[in-house]
Amino acid sequence: MTALGHLINGARVDREGRTQDLYNPSTGEVKGQVSLAAKATVEEAIAAAQAAFPAWRNTPPAKRARVMFRFKQLLEEHTDEIVRLIGEEHGKISHDAGGELARGIENIEYACGAPELLKGEHSKNTGPGIDSWSEHQPLGVVAGITPFNFPAMVPLWMYPMAIACGNTFVLKPSERDPTSALFIAELALEAGLPAGVLNVVNGDKEAVDTLLDDDRIQAVSFVGSTPIAEYIYSRASANGKRCQALGGAKNHAIVMPDADMENVVNSLTGAAFGSSGERCMALSVAVAVGDEAADNLVAKMQESMTSLKVGPFSDKSNDFGPVITQAHREKVCGYIASAEEQGATLLVDGRDIQVEGYERGFYVGGTLIDNVTPEMTCYREEIFGPVLLVMRVDSMEEAMRLIDEHEYGNGTCIYTRDGEAARYFSDHILVGMVGVNVPLPVPVSYHSFGGWKRSLFGDLSAYGPDAVRFYTRRKTVTQRWPSAGVREGAQFSFPS
Ligand code: NAD
């Protein structure tokens, strides 16, 4: 079986060299291999993008947007196939994979508005007979490096807008589940992108480092874990590139004593365990205010968790599937063990789950841990598995202090019926995306997505209006056409 190759200058390209196994996490079996691009292959992709840039930059924005309209249609026509490709390599259940794709398509819809979004600002008569305008020019070749957990959606956060703004693009998807990203990119070409405008290289650190060091790459968008985000941001910035690097998370939900506990439990169950907790917006910590609320919460959570259905991606009736690899399964189980060792109370233990007929799949069942305290490893670090921690505090101030002191600041939520408390919380909390009785406050495509603190390195968030700012640079032109016959002498003072 040939390893999954690359998409360079409009064509699928296979190269001899290093490969990595691709797994079906639902069964635990190897399903194929992916090529890991050598430096020369990545340079070929960059060269193709560089060559395609002048013509693409000069293509009218409305024509570029028309390609996006066709791209959206093609994705909708191929939804079932894409959902299957995501499920086979990631393991998420088809309804969840469908949701991911739909959110990705919303970013294409936003990119369809590029002609409107790229309109500049114009001022007439900024001086006698002088007009001035600011315009947004594309940067050139930009790169995107993406994580395993949203193999279809996160690339679509990046290149539709980058390309609609007139840039050309090199995407490096996760080497753990690259097939859907490559398939989707081929649909973008089918929609009418000229060769070289969008290129995909599969690979690992060697490919990433090539993108970070090559002078032809003007900007880098990254989404992944915090240590790698920090590395990407430092290296890209040191090389003079614009960079946005989105990292990991630890998202807290404050459960106030007045919250509607039935709704809280339903909402938390989906937000903590959906996609096996492998979401950067997963709610992984419930902070209950007062012991009464905490006792009520854990009792109802335990009851709700008895009906969780875990199994292969292909069975729509499952709530969530496996985690991404055996190594990650062991890591998640290690966090659960450490919580118990460090004194937390393990109420529901998902480590020994057996899925009939899929005994070698990488499953972890829903896990609930009570009495977690701030110094515990399971609290300090991102687990990225179906594990919900419960912490007990005496006041909302204490809950907010916990959140503010955590190194991550991606998402958070407060469950309450008290408008004043909710307003204070959303105004003051040191987190980038806040929900009030909304567990996963992932912004829609016409707002931007980004955390605070060590969840985002850089100044601009992903997609939405910030994407237009990130993928363009401002140029301001001041213009005068002197009337025929009018002559002016030299002026030595600063023009005012
Ligand atoms: P990861 O950091 O391991 O990998 C992300 C990308 O970086 C991949 O393309 C990978 O090939 C590359 N990479 C990995 N190690 C590298 C190295 N040493 N040098 C250069 N490149 C390297 O992340 P992951 O495990 O694929 O994804 C899960 C993580 O992503 C979680 O931490 C999750 O919170 C985070 N995430 C964040 C957001 C967000 O918007 N903030 C969204 C999705 C996922």
Task: Indicate whether 115 pLDDT > 80.
Answer: yes
What is the predicted pLDDT for the residue at 198? 98
Task: Indicate whether 20 pLDDT > 80.
Answer: yes
Greater model confidence, 127 or 466? 466
Ligand 1 centroid from CA 203, angstroms: 13
Ligand 1 centroid from CA 146, angstroms: 6
Ligand 1 centroid from CA 242, angstroms: 19
| 471 contact partners, CB below 8 Å, separation of at least 6 | 138, 139, 142, 161, 162, 165, 167, 219
What is the predicted pLDDT for the residue at 231? 98
| 48 contact partners, CB below 8 Å, separation of at least 6 | 8, 9, 10, 195, 196, 199
What percent of the chain shows pLDDT beyond 90?
A: 96
What is the predicted pLDDT for the residue at 491? 83
Query: What's the chain look like in SS3?
Result: CCCECEEECCEEECCCCCEEEEEECCCCEEEEEEECCCHHHHHHHHHHHHHHHHHHHCCCHHHHHHHHHHHHHHHHHCHHHHHHHHHHHHCCCHHHHHHHHHHHHHHHHHHCCHHHHCCCEEEEEEECCEEEEEEEEECCEEEEECCCCCCCHHHHHHHHHHHHCCCEEEEECCCCCCHHHHHHHHHHHHCCCCCCCEEECCCCHHHHHHHHHCCCEEEEEEECCHHHHHHHHHHHHHCCCEEEEECCCCEEEEECCCCCHHHHHHHHHHHHHHHHHCCCCCEEEEEEECHHHHHHHHHHHHHHHCCCCECCCCCCCCCECCCCCHHHHHHHHHHHHHHHHCCCEEEECCCCCCCCCCCCCCCCCCEEEECCCCCCHHHHCCCCCCEEEEEEECCHHHHHHHHHHCCEECEEEEECCCHHHHHHHHHHCCCCEEEECCCCCCCCCCCCECCEECCEECCCCECHHHHHHHCEEEEEEEEECCCCCCCCCCCCCCCC
Ligand 1 centroid from CA 65, angstroms: 30
- Nearest atom in ligand 1 to the alpha carbon of residue 328 is 25
| Domain chopping of the chain, boundaries | 3-247+455-477, 251-436
What is the predicted pLDDT for the residue at 482? 83
**How far is C-alpha 52 from the chain's CA centre?**
27
Task: Indicate whether 176 pLDDT > 90.
Answer: yes
Task: Indicate whether 79 pLDDT > 80.
Answer: yes
With cut-offs at 50, 70 and 90, classify the pLDDT of residue 389: very high
Q: What's the token pair of residue 324?
A: 């991404």
What is the predicted pLDDT for the residue at 490? 85
Q: pLDDT tens digits for 345-384? A: 999 999 999 999 999 999 999 999 999 999 999 999 999 9
Q: pLDDT tens digits for 128-152? A: 889 999 999 999 999 999 999 999 9
Domain spanning 3-247+455-477: CATH 3.60.70.12: no
Task: Indicate whether 486 pLDDT > 80.
Answer: no
Ligand 1, pocket residues at CB < 6 Å: 145-150, 154, 172, 174-175, 204-205, 208, 223-225, 228, 246-249, 280, 382, 384, 410, 451, 455
pTM: 0.97
Task: Indicate whether 51 pLDDT > 90.
Answer: yes
Alpha-carbon distances, residue 155 vs 60, 89, 103, 200, 495 (angstroms): 24, 16, 11, 10, 46
Sign, CA dihedral 151-320-264-253, equals negative
Nearest CA to ligand 1 atom 42: 280
Active-site residue, selected from the candidate residues 165, 280, 378, 413: 280
| Residue 165 annotated to the active site | no
Q: Average pLDDT of the chain?
A: 97
Q: Which of 149, 158, 222 to mutate to test the pocket of ligand 1 (most atoms within 8 A of CB)?
A: 149
Q: pLDDT tens digits for 152-161? A: 999 999 999 9
Task: Indicate whether 495 pLDDT > 80.
Answer: no
Nearest CA to ligand 1 atom 36: 224
Task: Indicate whether 331 pLDDT > 90.
Answer: yes
CA gap 99, 459 in Å, rounded: 28
Task: Indicate whether 27 pLDDT > 80.
Answer: yes
Q: Which of 103, 204, 281, 381 to mutate to test the pocket of ligand 1 (most atoms within 8 A of CB)?
A: 204
What is the predicted pLDDT for the residue at 492? 87
Task: Indicate whether 68 pLDDT > 80.
Answer: yes
Ligand 1 centroid from CA 229, angstroms: 7
Identify the residue whose tokens are 């958070």. 412
What is the predicted pLDDT for the residue at 329? 98
- Tell me if 328 sits within 8 A of 384, measured CB to CB: yes
CA gap 391, 368 in Å, rounded: 11
- CA torsion 294→299→302→305, rounded to 10°? -90
Q: pLDDT tens digits for 421-449? A: 999 999 999 999 999 999 999 999 999 99
With cut-offs at 50, 70 and 90, classify the pLDDT of residue 484: confident
Q: Which of 39, 89, 90, 148 to mutate to test the pocket of ligand 1 (most atoms within 8 A of CB)?
A: 148
Nearest CA to ligand 1 atom 34: 248
Nearest CA to ligand 1 atom 19: 205
Ligand 1 centroid from CA 147, angstroms: 4
What percent of the chain shows pLDDT beyond 70?
A: 100
What is the predicted pLDDT for the residue at 451? 97
- Domain 251-436: give its CATH architecture: 3-Layer(aba) Sandwich (3.40)
Of the given ranges (23-32, 69-78, 396-405, 478-487), which has the lowest mean pLDDT? 478-487
Q: pLDDT tens digits for 209-250? A: 999 999 999 999 999 999 999 999 999 999 999 999 999 999
